[in-house]
Each structure stands twice: as structure tokens, then as C-alpha cells.
Structure 1
């Protein structure tokens, strides 16, 4: 069966918990993971840009293997979204930030989009323009979880037992509610960080605005090749 999704992976240990890209329970369709040789976790925009040749080569290999959609497990790779997309014919989604223009048009004109991330100072105009839009096009604000010890521990260890999972969930809940109280004109949230989906599904039912993340954006992209029916079967393609 053709893999619906190809994931370009950084070297090293990644979080193997539901909601994160390594975990098999995260995906309802076939997935192929490919570790990009030499791809270390980027710490700066310059680090991410330096990985471009490696990601282009790996994306082309995934395309040759027949995957339907290509993504990556690090949100900072948004900085090479356009270059990798230009190197292959397969749809490329390296960051949920590519969905901001579509989300902005779903909500009332002028309504703000809240971007959730890990460290807010690492996500700004360069990330936005690399995904094809700017804050002049769509008003955005950014909030992050990086000040919380629970999330810093998860980032460092890539592990989360039941106790830490509960802490991650409640700390993210606190960030979101404080964010919405501070920016009452937010009409939707977009999670840029690929680690936040580990607990986001538990929070969505109680939030007053929709939350889009890398998983929901990829589900939408993959559905272009075959939509899953209520009986669990896929209409075609994946």
C-alpha cells in the first residue's frame, strides 16, 4: 500500500507518545519515516537553512518511494518550506503555519490568529514569510510553553509518564486561557510546535476557539488523495 505520508526526521531520540510523529497511534493511515542523515536539531534560523540540501535530497527520495505528502518533525523547518516544496512535485507541509491564510479566511475579517509554540522568540516574521504570508496580511500573536518546567523536561527527555503528561496538559491549558484572556480578539489558534499535539486533543473540547496543528493540517492534505469514510474505509488513494 502506498504510504499516505512521508516524515523527514531529525537524527536522535524523538518523543514516542501519541500525538507525536514517531508514535504509530498518531496516524490513521500508512506512514513512512526517514531519518535525514546529518540533520541535527536546529537551534537557530541559520541552522535550519543549513539543513536545506539534506532535506531536498531526502524529500526527493520520499517522492521516488511514492509517498503522497511530505512533512518534517521539527517546526523550525518552516524556514525551508518553499525551497523544499519547489524541489518536488509531491505536496510538502513542513509546518502548520502554511494553513494560517486558510484559517484566517474561516473566521471574521480582522480577527486575530493565535500561534502556539514552544519558545515565542523563535517564531516570527521570517517563519511566516517562509510559509507564504506575513503578519501584515493576517494579524497574529504568539504564545509559548517554554517557561514551564514540564515542557522543558519533555523537550529534553522526549519522554512523558502519566504524571508528566498531566502536567503538560494543565500547563498548556494555562497558557491558552491566559493567551485568550490577553488577546480577546483571537478567533482561532494554530499550534506551530510539533510537540503540543501530545496533549492538544484533551484540551480542544473545552476551548472556545478551534485549534489547528500539524496533525490536522496533514490530515486535511492527505484527504486530498482519499477521504476516510464512517466505516473506516478510505475512498481512494491512500
Structure 2
């Protein structure tokens, strides 16, 4: 069986089922490797500035036995070419790489891209993932304007009440995307924090958080 290697941002990560730091997310072998000196990027420039850190970490992760490598931040898609060239195992930095295949499945209809901060995702991210919005029409939607998601970004913790508010806010973003483009064929989640609302926390305690 292959081993999934995950390049983890340094610092406190959400130990929430569905998120990459949680042991409950994957049902197969996983190696999590912290990228020393990294931090959560909020712009394309901040992500690209961490290239040397990620190249070194990817090589270390391969040496640990990872047979495929990914990252726990969608903005690392900007480093796709450099990281895949630095190691001998496959590298998939972002779900944005799936957009061309998804587009074919829905007959070329527009694709929704759900992210955290929409200003951090654009043509540079798309091209780094192997396609262009000139060929595949996309509609961006971001949860970062909602206090519930900003709280999660800050604390990396989700109480049941906060999860419900996050879900409502996420659905409002999707509704806005559909209002802007009724022919939307599919939605791709670019941000790795988004699956946190798809799992159910225990009713008697908050979801855990941890330092990765």
C-alpha cells in the first residue's frame, strides 16, 4: 500500500475530522511532515516566498517513505512545478488540479471554486495547476468574509454551535455563486479547511485541536 505524505504548515492545525491534521480523516497510511519556518499564507506572494522551505520538506518527506505528496494548504498549488521536479514521487498540491477532469464530466459548464480568501486565488493558481480560466470558466466563492470562518482560522477549534454557523455561512456562499452563475456544473473545494463542516462533532465536547 502507498503512503500519503502531507506537507503541514507549522503551528496549530485543526484536529477536526475531514481536515488533514486529524487522524480520523484518512483510512490508510499517512506521514505528516511539518514545513519548518512556514506559516499560513494569505496571499500568492506569501505562498511563493516559502518555496525553498517546501522543496526541502518535500525531499525529507520522500526520504521518510511517502509515495505521493500533497499539502495542507491549497495555495501551495503555486509551487506545484517546483515541488514535483524536486522529488521522484507524484506531487498533488491542490484540488485545483482536478478542475480539467471535472469540467469534462459536466460538459464544460462553469466550475465553482470554493476557497477561503478569494483575493488569494486567481489565474496564477489555475495555471500552476495546469489549466486556465480562459479555457475553463470558473466562479470563485470565499468563506473568509464570515466571522465564523475567521474564528476557525484563528483558533483551529470547532464547537458544535460554531460548526452549524460555519455550515450556514458556507451554504450562503454557494447560493451566491449559483445566483451569479445558475449554470454552474460542479464545485471544487480549494481550501483544505472546508471539509471541517462535513463531519459531525460529538455533542458533548468541542472538536479537538492540536499542534502538528
TM over 0.5: yes
Kindly tell me: are residues 201 and 98 of structure 1, through their superposed partners in 2, closer, same or farther at Cα, counting changes over 3 Å?
A: farther
- 1:157 CA drift (Å): 0.7
Deviations 1:169-219 (A, max 9, x none): 1111121122123211110000101100111468xxxxxxxxxxxxxxxxx
Kindly tell me: are residues 92 and 134 of structure 1, through their superposed partners in 2, closer, same or farther at Cα, counting changes over 3 Å?
A: same
Partner in structure 1 of residue 79 of structure 2? 80
Partner in structure 2 of residue 160 of structure 1? 158
Segments of 4+ moved more than 3 angstroms: none
Show structure 1 runs of 5+ residues with no match: 203-238
Partner Cα separation in structure 1 for residue 130 and residue 71 of structure 2: 17
User: Could you tell me which of 136, 139, 142 is aligned with 2:140?
Assistant: 142
- 1:3 CA drift (Å): 5.7
Residue correspondences, number: 200
Partner SS state of residue 55, structure 1: helix
Partner Cα separation in structure 2 for residue 201 and residue 161 of structure 1: 12
Q: Which has the higher contact order (CA 8 A, sep 6+)?
A: 2
Partner in structure 2 of residue 127 of structure 1? 125
Partner in structure 1 of residue 48 of structure 2? 49
Partner Cα separation in structure 2 for residue 37 and residue 3 of structure 1: 25
Kindly tell me: are residues 43 and 188 of structure 1, through their superposed partners in 2, closer, same or farther at Cα, counting changes over 3 Å?
A: same
Partner SS state of residue 6, structure 1: strand
Partner SS state of residue 7, structure 1: strand
Kindly tell me: are residues 114 and 201 of structure 1, through their superposed partners in 2, closer, same or farther at Cα, counting changes over 3 Å?
A: farther
- Any conservation in 1 of the 2:44–2:121 contact (CA below 8 Å)? no
Partner in structure 1 of residue 17 of structure 2? 18
Partner in structure 2 of residue 217 of structure 1? none
- Any conservation in 1 of the 2:42–2:117 contact (CA below 8 Å)? no
Partner Cα separation in structure 1 for residue 45 and residue 163 of structure 2: 32
Partner in structure 2 of residue 180 of structure 1? 178
Partner SS state of residue 26, structure 1: coil
Partner Cα separation in structure 2 for residue 134 and residue 76 of structure 1: 16
Partner in structure 1 of residue 111 of structure 2? 113
Show structure 2 runs of 5+ residues with no match: 201-212
RMSD: 1.4
Kindly tell me: are residues 3 and 157 of structure 1, through their superposed partners in 2, closer, same or farther at Cα, counting changes over 3 Å?
A: farther
- Any conservation in 2 of the 1:3–1:31 contact (CA below 8 Å)? no
Partner Cα separation in structure 1 for residue 166 and residue 73 of structure 2: 19
Partner SS state of residue 150, structure 2: helix
- 1:65 CA drift (Å): 2.0
Deviations 1:118-143 (A, max 9, x none): 11111100111111111012111101
User: Could you tell me which of 132, 148, 151 is aligned with 2:149?
Assistant: 151
